[in-house]
């Protein structure tokens, strides 16, 4: 009985149907069809790969920002090359579109130069950074991407959010397997996990995730949402977040935090980021790259035992399974999507 109730809560919907609805919702929000499909595709693939907190769960918030004008549905990113580096002004466009266009440009540049860097500013929230670095590694490139966020994170005792949880992702092509993809926030867990706990009305979150507004540790999802996320590994997480501030903030020409009007913390409409694409063929040859990468990866897997895997393998398996069986969508999220579609005249029938 419990399993049957769980199955009803986690209704599976085909990726094709969700793609059609998501693209239609973005189009109804004023985006052109090409950009609407691109944004929907990135978010759907995020959910296909099992990253449920950053996939279609983000669509209602993005639709609200598009409808309210905080994100410009008609924005077209402006890409310029200066002093050997690409610079992308997202012009307040949907982050999935902006980052995809910036990554496309960096990949194209890396076909004729060993390394191509690109700053991004004035972009909507990027959500799962791993989706964009994967885009590069599926074309044989190494890629790294980091994004600054509004202040979301602090150490215990803090009286306010001190710094963003500033996620970092990288990916590497693997000669005989799916790309290695590693994506992490500088906090213990991504804030999306707290948002999901609040959405699902969970009574608590694990200890060590967050502090309440008074600076004390909390397991109450609502207090955690009002407070701050705790950094991974204490001061080391803070140090990683500071590095991202340098790369994605200081070098991008972004506005200082006190000059920003980002709305709800964690869903910024003026995100900034930094990405780097490296072409193995032009660095030292793809054969040498594959030989070394294959050797250390094989040693890692052998040393990790029979259950050993590298980052990206589980996501690839999830994508294959969910393309066959559909994406599990919990009841609370289905209701959010239904309400979002109702506002736009795009029926969500599940």
**Residue 1 pLDDT:** 37
Q: Is the pLDDT of residue 46 over 50?
A: yes
CA distance 165 to 153: 6
290 domain-assigned: no
**Residue 128 pLDDT:** 96
**Residues whose CB falls within 8 Å of the CB of residue 12, separated by 6 or more in sequence, listed in order:** 325, 326, 327, 328, 329
Beta-strand pair 210-211/78-82: unpaired
Which tokens in the block code for residue 259? 């000059």
**Residue 259 pLDDT:** 62
**Residue 265 pLDDT:** 44
68 domain-assigned: yes
CATH of the domain at 91: 3.30.1370.60
Q: How confident is the model at residue 263 (pLDDT cuts 50, 70, 90)?
A: very low
Burial of residue 7 (CB within 10 Å: 0-12, 13-18, 19+) is exposed
**Residue 291 pLDDT:** 97
Residue showing tokens 């769960």:
57
**Residue 253 pLDDT:** 87
Mean pLDDT to the nearest integer, 141-168: 95
CA distance 180 to 274: 20
Q: Is the pLDDT of residue 49 over 70?
A: yes
Which tokens in the block code for residue 45? 């693939």
Q: Which of 5-19, 28-42, 116-130, 292-306 has the lowest mean pLDDT?
A: 5-19
90 domain-assigned: yes
- Give CA separation, 313 vs 135, 171, 346, in Å: 15, 12, 35
323 domain-assigned: no
Q: Is the pLDDT of residue 260 over 80?
A: no
300 domain-assigned: no
**Residue 239 pLDDT:** 97
Question: DSSP per residue over 202-233, as a string?
Answer: -S---TTSEE-TTS-EE--HHHHHHSEEPBTT
Mean pLDDT to the nearest integer, 164-189: 96
Q: Is the pLDDT of residue 168 over 80?
A: yes
Q: Is the pLDDT of residue 4 over 60?
A: no
CA distance 168 to 109: 22
Q: How confident is the model at residue 12 (pLDDT cuts 50, 70, 90)?
A: very high
Mean pLDDT to the nearest integer, 32-42: 98
309 domain-assigned: no
Q: How confident is the model at residue 17 (pLDDT cuts 50, 70, 90)?
A: very high
Give the predicted TM-score (pTM) of the model: 0.91
In total, how many domains does the chain have?
A: 1
pLDDT digits (tens, 9 = 90+) for 264-321: 444 556 899 999 999 999 999 999 999 999 999 999 999 999 999 999 999 999 999 9
E strand spans, the chain: 10-13, 78-82, 85-93, 115-123, 142-148, 168-172, 180-184, 210-211, 217-218, 228-229, 271-278, 327-330
**Residue 93 pLDDT:** 97
Q: Which of 3-12, 101-110, 183-192, 203-212 has the lowest mean pLDDT?
A: 3-12
pLDDT digits (tens, 9 = 90+) for 184-216: 999 999 888 898 899 888 999 999 999 999 999
321 domain-assigned: no
pLDDT digits (tens, 9 = 90+) for 218-258: 999 999 999 999 999 999 999 999 999 999 999 998 888 76
**Residue 195 pLDDT:** 87
Backbone angles phi, psi at 24, to 5 degrees: -65, -40
Are 47 and 59 in contact by the 8 Å Cβ rule? The answer is no
Q: Give the mean pLDDT of the chain.
A: 93
Domain of 132 in residue numbering reads as 2-284+328-339
Closest alpha carbon to 224 in 262, 179, 192: 192
47 domain-assigned: yes
Mean pLDDT to the nearest integer, 138-150: 97
Q: Is the pLDDT of residue 112 over 70?
A: yes
Mean pLDDT to the nearest integer, 139-166: 95
CA–centroid distance for 100 within its chain: 12
Q: How confident is the model at residue 5 (pLDDT cuts 50, 70, 90)?
A: very low
Percent of the chain with pLDDT over 70: 94
Task: Pick 83 or 264 by higher pLDDT.
Answer: 83
């Amino acid at each position: 009985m419990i399993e049957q109730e769980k199955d009803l809560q986690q209704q599976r919907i085909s990726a094709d149907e969700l793609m059609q609805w998501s693209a239609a919702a973005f189009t109804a929000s004023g985006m052109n069809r090409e950009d609407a499909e691109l944004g929907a595709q990135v978010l759907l693939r995020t959910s296909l790969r099992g990253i449920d907190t950053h996939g279609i769960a983000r669509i209602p918030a993005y639709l609200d920002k598009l409808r309210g004008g905080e994100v410009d549905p008609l924005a077209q990113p402006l890409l310029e090359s200066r002093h050997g580096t690409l610079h992308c002004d997202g012009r307040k466009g949907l982050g999935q579109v902006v980052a995809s266009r910036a990554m496309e440009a960096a990949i194209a540049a890396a076909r004729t130069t060993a390394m191509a860097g690109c700053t991004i500013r004035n972009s909507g929230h990027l959500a799962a950074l791993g989706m964009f670095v994967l885009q590069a590694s599926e074309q044989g490139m190494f890629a790294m991407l980091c994004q600054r966020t509004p202040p979301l994170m602090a150490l215990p005792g803090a009286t306010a959010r001190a710094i963003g949880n500033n996620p970092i992702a990288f990916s590497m092509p693997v000669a005989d397997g799916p790309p290695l993809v590693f994506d992490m926030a500088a906090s213990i867990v991504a804030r999306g996990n707290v948002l999901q706990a609040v959405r699902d009305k969970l009574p608590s979150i694990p200890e060590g995730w967050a502090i309440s507004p008074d600076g004390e540790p909390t397991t109450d999802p609502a207090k955690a949402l009002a407070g701050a996320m705790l950094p991974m590994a204490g001061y080391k997480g803070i140090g990683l977040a500071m590095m991202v501030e340098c790369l994605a903030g200081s070098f991008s020409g972004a506005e200082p935090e006190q000059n920003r009007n980002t709305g709800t913390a964690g869903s910024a409409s003026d995100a900034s980021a930094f990405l780097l694409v490296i072409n193995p063929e032009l660095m030292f040859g793809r054969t040498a790259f594959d030989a070394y990468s294959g050797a250390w990866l094989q040693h890692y897997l052998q040393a990790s035992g029979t259950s050993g895997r590298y980052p990206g393998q589980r996501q690839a398996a999830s994508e294959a399974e969910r393309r066959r069986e559909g994406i599990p969508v919990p009841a609370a999220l289905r209701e959010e999507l239904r309400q979002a579609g109702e506002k736009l005249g795009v029926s969500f029938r599940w």
